[in-house]
Amino acid sequence: MTYITKPRLHHPTLTRNKVGYTRRDYEGKVSTLCAGCGHDSISAAIVQAAWELDIQPHRVAKLSGIGCSSKTPDYFLGASHGFNTVHGRMPSVLTGANLANRELLYLGVSGDGDSASIGIGQFAHAMRRGVRMVYIVENNGVYGLTKGQFSATADRGSKSKKGVVNTESPVDLIGLALQLGATYVARGFSGDKGQLVPLIKGAIAHGGAAFIDVISPCVAFNNHAGSTRSYDHVREHNEAVSRIDFIDLAQELKAEPAPGDVIEVPNADGSMMRLRKLHEGYDPTDRRAAMNLVQQMAAEGEIATGLLYVDPDAVDLHAALNTVPRPLNGLSEAELCPGPEVLARLNAGLR
């Protein structure tokens, strides 16, 4: 593989955000994925969300597992530290990184093989542990790097490029996340950036474990007729149940009074999220209702997208552990080592 560096020249008229960065500053290396891959659209959405939220790129740690999706952290946020870990184990590494320094934004990128097969255990436990993170699964129902085997999220009855029909039930990551206590659960579609960017922004602002399942068609192995993860199929069957109009505090003052079908959800970072209901009777803060709706729509062959569930009062693992507000990796020796006098007392107690 060749190593391509993007030119560092910036157009002088590129707009800068509040922290002085242009959108280009959030980009990474040139993608080596196939032309038209849904994953590249997700990378672009991450770039846009981070730029719009005025996040300093070096304050982000991006982690991934193994697979096509897990390669993408190299293609965005080039000024952030990244970690391409082992297959299916991104959640644990991210958990450790988060424990070491709670001040950074943790972005976990994974795929359906990485999170629904080999890594389903780690996915589940990161959700129930409430690690503050944005967990994005780039879900295409197929193993791309190993050339087209079904993944565990492939629908039963879906056809592979070679014509094989999948006979196994799909793992529903959304259902699992809801059931396991994730406090922000959303589904997006790589072909709908207008919906995806606010979903990512909402996840970034969230105070706990935020999970976004992004349907991301694989142009090389899973974009044919008979596949339920093709662009055509997803465009036809995706039904948004909500729309986020993300607003920060400064803009909130100018915002118009909320009409009846809009819910305002405060975020952990002090900003406010405005959520527009698109589905009758839908309440995104009711976990059980969200589970029912997603199940019901799936039974009808529809793919529910949008913000499906959010707990505005979510807290994270650090709150549960009552850790100090400062990052653990920055504590001094004096704060960590009890010293010789304490040791003398401990010795005395062991005689």
Residues interacting with other proteins, by CB under 8 A?
Answer: 1, 3, 56-59, 61, 63, 73-74, 78-86, 89, 91-101, 103-104, 121-122, 124-125, 129, 317-318, 321-325, 328-331, 333, 335-340, 342-343, 346-347, 350-351
Shortest reach from residue 97's CB to other proteins, in Å: 4
Shortest reach from residue 114's CB to other proteins, in Å: 13
Shortest reach from residue 351's CB to other proteins, in Å: 6
- CA dihedral sign, ordered 63, 135, 44, 303: positive
Cβ atoms of 178 and 309 within 8 Å: the answer is yes
Q: Smaller CB distance to other proteins: residue 77 or 218?
A: 77
Which ranges of 72-119 would DSSP assign to H, the alpha helix?
90-100, 112
* Residue recorded with tokens 């009758």: 280
Other C-beta atoms lying within 10 Å of the C-beta of residue 348:
8
Cβ atoms of 82 and 58 within 8 Å: the answer is no
Q: Smaller CB distance to other proteins: residue 3 or 256?
A: 3
Q: Smaller CB distance to other proteins: residue 98 or 151?
A: 98
Q: Smaller CB distance to other proteins: residue 165 or 343?
A: 343
- Cα separation of 7 and 257, whole Å? 45
Q: Smaller CB distance to other proteins: residue 77 or 154?
A: 77
CA diameter of the chain? 76
Shortest reach from residue 115's CB to other proteins, in Å: 14
Shortest reach from residue 12's CB to other proteins, in Å: 18
Q: In this structure, what token pair is assigned to residue 177?
A: 């996340």
Q: Smaller CB distance to other proteins: residue 296 or 329?
A: 329
Q: How many CA atoms lie within 13 A of 54 on its CB side?
A: 9
Shortest reach from residue 14's CB to other proteins, in Å: 16
Cβ atoms of 200 and 46 within 8 Å: the answer is yes
In 3D space, the residue among 240, 195, 212 whose CA is nearest the CA of residue 111 turns out to be: 212
